[in-house]
Amino acid sequence: MNFWEYLGNRHQQLLADAFQHASAVFQCMVIATLLGVLIGVLTYRREWAGNLAITSTATILTVPSLALIGLLIPVLGLGVAPTVTALVLYGLLPITRNAVVGLRGVDPTLVDAAKGIGMSRAARLLRVELPLAWPPILTGIRVATQMLMGIAAIAAFASGPGLGNQIFRGISSLGSSNALNEVLSGTLGIVILALLFDAVYVLIGRLTISRGIRA
């Protein structure tokens, strides 16, 4: 069976896997974004806190994904829980770092002006600082998404959902007639998904970054 025949045969399975893959990445990105921005907002004002946040999220990233999932299985069991946890943890670094750097990069005279015209701390954050820090944060989210696309494939190791299952099935049955097709379709699917997500981010950037600060 050549690759095209394989796709024709299995397209339903593949689509379901792709959908699950995308949905897992999407949901984890939502959680990671909320958490990452929150950590950024809570820490950027203090030198040490912000640096600690960046360093600790960076440390997580140095743990190989397979190892992290392996470590999580005894604690959280198999399936969705370790997958989500691992993906969120990996997604945190780029988002947290860019949130801290972005918020710190807001021109202090603008913050002064915001204070000076009587904006409360919350208003300053929501109306001035976050909108101005949003472009780098969105870049962080993009980078994190690309990363999670690949890492999500590893989740199949913990019986997680997604295209990783194709790849693992292929690897475990290397030599069989469909092994290559399986690995190839899984990998290609991930690449295509990543490109689609990126296109969506470009669109989101267009819609959410003010024309006044767009490059």
Positions that interact with other proteins (CB under 8 A): 109-110, 112-120, 123, 127-128, 131-132, 210-213
Q: CB of residue 117 vs other proteins: minimum separation in angstroms?
A: 5
Q: CB of residue 98 vs other proteins: minimum separation in angstroms?
A: 17
Q: CB of residue 194 vs other proteins: minimum separation in angstroms?
A: 29
Nearer to other proteins, 130 or 163 (CB): 130
d(C-alpha 50, C-alpha 67), whole Å = 27
Nearer to other proteins, 12 or 109 (CB): 109
**Which residue type does 78 have?**
L
Asked whether 114 and 161 are in contact (CB, 8 A), the reply is: no
Nearer to other proteins, 104 or 169 (CB): 104
Q: CB of residue 47 vs other proteins: minimum separation in angstroms?
A: 15
Q: If you search the block for the tokens 């994190």, which residue do you land on?
A: 144
d(C-alpha 20, C-alpha 118), whole Å = 47
Nearer to other proteins, 100 or 130 (CB): 130
Closest C-alpha to 87, from 149, 39, 168, 22 = 149
DSSP helix/strand/coil, 193 = helix
Q: CB of residue 210 vs other proteins: minimum separation in angstroms?
A: 4
d(C-alpha 153, C-alpha 168), whole Å = 9
Q: CB of residue 212 vs other proteins: minimum separation in angstroms?
A: 3
Nearer to other proteins, 79 or 131 (CB): 131
Nearer to other proteins, 28 or 128 (CB): 128
Angle made by CA atoms 127, 133, 139, in degrees to the nearest 5: 135
Cα distances from 49 to residues 39, 75, 193, in angstroms, run 9, 28, 35
d(C-alpha 206, C-alpha 30), whole Å = 19
